[in-house]
Structure 1
């Protein structure tokens, strides 16, 4: 029976990204996917700078960026077209080293992810393989699957199994996890069109139409593609409302049939759910398998990528034998304790935005939605910290930016998959760092700006670029350095200019 470090069930964006990261860390990884090819129609349409930074790690960011569209922000308007809520998105390079947000065509991303998988010598991808049995035997997990291309049942063993297998996750069933329900369950018609010619009056912003009788969302995606998401009323039939003649009727405020081609129509039920248990023994969940969100913040795929970034280096340390026993168990337990509150906060915010879209239109709802003043609300981006886990103090678990070093190189290019100390020069002077730990000082980078945002003079970054805490003295920094684990990758550090 073939043995692997990690078996990934599901080859969507989350599964593929996890396979890339584990492959970079040298783990023997297998991906098992039921379908023969990636889904060819649009699904997710948005990701943010945090996700692009992960794509930078696996070497696809520069290839993906030209395939995306700029995203100036989101606007909420009432039935008369009055602006209720403005959510602008900054343009240009932000703290993560990339633009704040991107609109994309998911088949483009999946193609890039899969094409570059050939670079991962330790990763095996098996499509048309339907997993039907998973048994955690304590020291390893046995999986059985049918290779549908040959009608043959096969068995493999893995140290860990990660379910990236979507909302109907088989791995979640084996974990036997219930779901925390935040009360949002609505049917929406999703319509993707390809314009026959430019239609600039549709605009570049995403727009939430807060119409009590029929809330709707407009999304500008790359090229000539555009998307609308339109509420389906309880008394309406999903099949009937998906028919072309009905779809064009619903789009009549924005578009005529001769102006575009329908690429896809589908009715989805949007949920707000978080799995109660993200791990059981050697089984773990990632992405839609452990959380499902309404689409109003565009955070579905983003949340799955954050899961992957949090988990990959912990699995790498354990599978490489650098962390074992109780320490390994605690490290894996930190995956759920850190990620679950973060995912929950994004989902609860999306639910609140969904409530705004569905209820604004009455005077009382308008007063509740808007602050006093000029009648226009502005919403800043939220970036909730991780939940309790690794680190010390209230500055632990914060996503840190990506300083530019000498020759304008981004930090993660110089120190991939490593712990990194970022500090003012005087605090780190005379300190000896563990082998393989990177060092970024304020005199050799623009790290001072990033430290100012954290509110500390020094910090230690994990491989996923979250902080172990903040330090204002050499002694406090030494306490953070003592928390550093071995690095997932043994990389030779370049000389700092």
Structure 2
């Protein structure tokens, strides 16, 4: 029976990204998915700079960026068309090394992820394979699945199984966890249209129409694609409102049938849920399998990417035998303790924002609901910290930026999947570093700006680029270094797929 270090159930963006990351770390990985190909119609339409930085690690950022559209920000408009609030997004390179936000077409991303994943010799992809039984036997997990191309039932084993299998997750059923419910359950009609010719008056901003009778959202997507999300009233029938003639009635304020073709219409129930347990034994959850959010913050796919960025290096350390026993258990437990509060805070913000959009909230209320409405604010300013985990102090678990080295290269292109000390030059002088830990100082990069944003003279970054904590003295920095774990990979050389 074939054995793998990690089996991933689900081949969406979260599962594919996790497979890339594990493959880069030399982890023998199996991906199982019941579908024969990626879904060909639009779904997610937004990701942020933190996600693009993860795509940088796996070597697809430069290929993906030209496929995205600029996102100048979000505007909130009342029923009379009056601008309630302008929430701009910074343009140009931000602290993560990329612009702050991207609009994209999910099939484009899935094609890039899947095409490049074929080069990962450590990763095996099995599509049209329907997993129906998962047996955690204590020291190994046995999976049974049907190869639907021929009807054959097969078995494999894995040291760990990660469920990236969506809102109806099979892996979550085997974990037998309930869900925390934050009270938002609404039907919305999602309409994707392709313009026959450009219509500039629609604009490039995302627009939240705060209309008490029919709240709606407009989103500019790459190329000629445009999206509308429109509230479905309680007494309206899902099938009736999805019919083309009814859809065009609802789009009448923006578009006519002569101006565009409908690519997709679907009624979704937007939920606000977080799984109570993200891990049971050797089974773990990531992405929609463990949290579901209303779309108002555009953080659904982003949250799944953050999950796998947090999880991959921990699994790699354990699967490669660098962390064992109780330390391995504690490291895996830190995945939920760190990620769950972060995901919860994003979801609760989206719920508050959705409530205000639905009730035509005032400018003051909208400002209070948003983490930041300052146009100069960078994404770090609205990113909640991680929950309690492997870091120490008030500055632990903060998303840190990506310095540019003096030769112009981004830090992660040089020091991928490593712990990195980022420090003022004088504080790092004479510092004794553990094997494989990189050092970036204010003499070798623009790290001073990033440290000032954190509010410390030095920090130690984990492979996922969150902080272990802050330090202002040599003694504090040395104490942080005692928390450093072995590197998930042997080589520190930049890699391109």
| Residue in structure 2 matched with residue 176 of structure 1 by the alignment | 176
**Structure 2 residue aligned with 1:240:** 240
Q: Which residue of 2 aligns with 1:164?
A: 164
By how many angstroms is 1:454 displaced? 0.3
Q: 2:478: which partner in 1?
A: 478
In the TM superposition, what are the counterparts of 1:230-269 in structure 2 within 5 Å?
Answer: 230-269=230-269
Q: Does 1:366 align with 2:332?
A: no
Offset, 1:282: 0.2
Asked if 1 retains the 8 angstrom alpha-carbon contact of 2:180 and 2:275, the reply is yes
> Equivalent residue of 1:84, what SS?
strand
Say yes or no: does 1:131 pair with 2:131: yes
Q: Does 1:204 align with 2:204?
A: yes
> Take 2:3 and 2:216, find their aligned partners in 1: how far apart are those partners?
49
Unpaired segments ≥5 residues, structure 1 = none
Q: Shift of the alpha carbon at 1:432?
A: 1.4
Instruction: Give the secondary structure class of the aligned counterpart of 2:270.
Output: strand
The 3-state SS of whatever aligns with 1:406 is coil
SS of 1:444 mapped into structure 2? coil
Please name the residue that 1:30 is paired with.
30
Q: 2:113 maps to what in 1?
A: 113
Tell me whether 1:311 sits opposite 2:311 in the alignment.
Answer: yes
Q: Secondary structure at the match of 1:301?
A: helix
Contact kept in structure 1, 2:416 and 2:492, CA below 8 Å: no
- 1:281 alignment partner in structure 2: 281
- Whole-Å Cα distance in 2 between the matches of residues 432 and 27 of structure 1? 30
Measured in 1, the distance between the counterparts of 2:453 and 2:234 equals 46
Taking a change above 3 Å as real, the CA distance of residues 243 and 32 of structure 1, as seen in their structure-2 partners, is same
Partner residue, 1:437:
437
Once residues 13 and 33 of structure 2 are traced to their aligned partners in structure 1, the CA distance between those partners, rounded to angstroms, is 12
- Distance (whole Å) between structure 1 residues aligned to residue 116 and residue 188 of structure 2: 34
How far 1:392 moved relative to its partner?
1.0
Deviation at 1:85, TM superposition (A): 2.1
User: 2: distance between equivalents of 1:371 and 1:29?
Assistant: 45
Aligned to 1:143: 143
1:107 CA displacement: 0.2
Aligned-partner Cα distance in 2 for 1:298–1:370: 16
Preserved contact between residue 353 and residue 366 of structure 2 (Cα < 8 Å): no
Q: Secondary structure at the match of 1:443?
A: coil
Over residues 12-56 of structure 1, what are the superposed CA-to-partner deviations in whole Å (9 max), with x where a residue is unaligned? 000000000000000000000000000000000000000000000
Q: How many residues align?
A: 487
Aligned ranges for residues 415-426 of structure 1 at < 5 Å? 415-426=415-426
- The alpha-carbon deviation at position 157 of structure 1 amounts to 0.3
- In structure 2, distance between residues paired with 1:190 and 1:334: 36
Kept in 2: contact 1:105–1:222 (CA 8 A): yes
Name the stretch that deviates more: 78-87 or 382-391.
78-87
Distance of 2:467 and 2:328 partners within structure 1: 20
Deviations 1:127-175 (A, max 9, x none): 0000000010010000000000010000000000000000000000000
- Equivalent-residue separation in structure 1 for 2:85 and 2:142 (angstroms): 51
Report if the CA contact (8 A) 1:68-1:102 is conserved.
yes
Q: Distance in 2 between matches of 1:129 and 1:176?
A: 23
**How much does 1:453 deviate?**
0.3
**CA shift for structure 1 position 368:** 5.9
8 A contact 1:105–1:221 mirrored in 2: yes
What is the TM-score with the length of structure 2 in the denominator? 0.96
SS in 2 for 1:470: strand
Deviation at 1:492, TM superposition (A): 4.2
Q: Judging changes above 3 Å, is the alpha-carbon distance between structure 1 residues 73 and 338 closer, same or farther for their aligned structure 2 residues? A: same
Specify every segment of 5 or more residues in structure 2 that has no aligned partner in the other structure, as ranges.
none
- Aligned CA distance change for structure 1 residues 220 and 351 (closer, same or farther; 3 Å): same
Partner Cα separation in structure 1 for residue 471 and residue 492 of structure 2: 27
Shift of 1:367: 7.2
Q: Secondary structure at the match of 2:271?
A: strand
CA distance in structure 1 between the aligned counterparts of 2:105 and 2:421, rounded to whole angstroms: 37
Helix, strand or coil at the partner of 1:154: strand
CA contact (8 A) 1:438 1:493 kept: no
CA contact (8 A) 2:84 2:363 kept: no
TM-score by length of 1: 0.96
Aligned residue in 2 for 1:193: 193
How far is 1:366 from its partner? 2.7
Task: Call closer, same or farther: CA 1:166–1:25 in 2, change over 3 Å.
Answer: same
**Deviation (angstroms), 1:118:** 1.4
The answer to whether the 8 A contact 1:85-1:378 is kept is no
